[in-house]
Amino acid sequence: MGSIAPGISDDTTQSADQIDAFIQNHPVAISLRNDPEYTEVRPHLKVAEQFRAQNFMTGALTGPHKISVPPYVFSKENGEKLVMIMHLGEHLCDYPEIVHNGLIAALFDEGLARCCFAALPHKVGVTANLNIEHHQPLMANSYIVLSAETTKLQGRKAWGYSRIETLPIDSDEASLIAEARGLFIEPKQIDVSSLGNLAPCT
């Protein structure tokens, strides 16, 4: 395991509005927003208010000092590629000031699912396998970029690759935190009317 990654916000008392503005106006976000091949969405905001508290990602993991603001998601059609940008606060740690690797796994699962589901026939599936390789710890109060792509599609099965890096701040370069590979399978019996309830929210 390497040294602790850069990409940390110096101000741990930033408001949600400040964090949101930093992400929205970061060169990475601007570049993706200006790329006609990508569509920008805020999936957390599409979850009805009365259901957010019951949802693992939009409820338990989102809020002050956690996933600080709803992530920005940029995606290409049919699950080709996806990019998520977010800020992770200090209430998501295991060791002091180090983000829990279980959260890293949850983010990979959500990011890869959102990417790969879009490639499946009915746009929905379940996680069959997820393998993660951690390269270095992620410090709390970091801005991160999760990128994902569908690497193979075979009937009801979609394979994907993803990586999490720090979002560059000032003169810092992006630092690789972890990589993941996953397999997602669309169930044989699909009730089309229930697909909206099964879609990932992040």
Name which of 175, 182, 195 is nearest 79 in CA terms: 182
| CATH entry, 16-198, from 2.102.10.10, 3.40.1000.10, 3.10.129.10, 3.20.20.10 | 3.10.129.10
- The closest alpha carbon to 71, from 133, 164, 185, 7, belongs to 164
The predicted model gives 111-130 an average pLDDT of 95
Which has the higher per-residue pLDDT, 178 or 47?
Answer: 178
For position 190, what pLDDT does the model report? Answer: 64
Q: Is the pLDDT of residue 139 over 80?
A: yes
pTM of the predicted protein model:
0.85
Residue 53, both tokens: 């508290």
- Burial degree of 160 (CB within 10 A; 0-12, 13-18, 19+): buried
pLDDT greater than 60 at residue 9: no
The predicted pLDDT at position 1 comes to 40
Give the pLDDT score at 2. Answer: 42
Which pLDDT score is estimated for 42? Answer: 82
What tokens does 193 get? Answer: 């009317």
**pLDDT digit string (tens) for 78-120?**
899 999 999 999 999 989 999 999 999 999 999 999 999 999 9
Residue 146 carries which DSSP code? E
Task: Give the tens place of pLDDT for each residue, 152-180.
Answer: 999 999 999 999 999 998 878 899 999 99
Strand, coil or helix: 44: helix
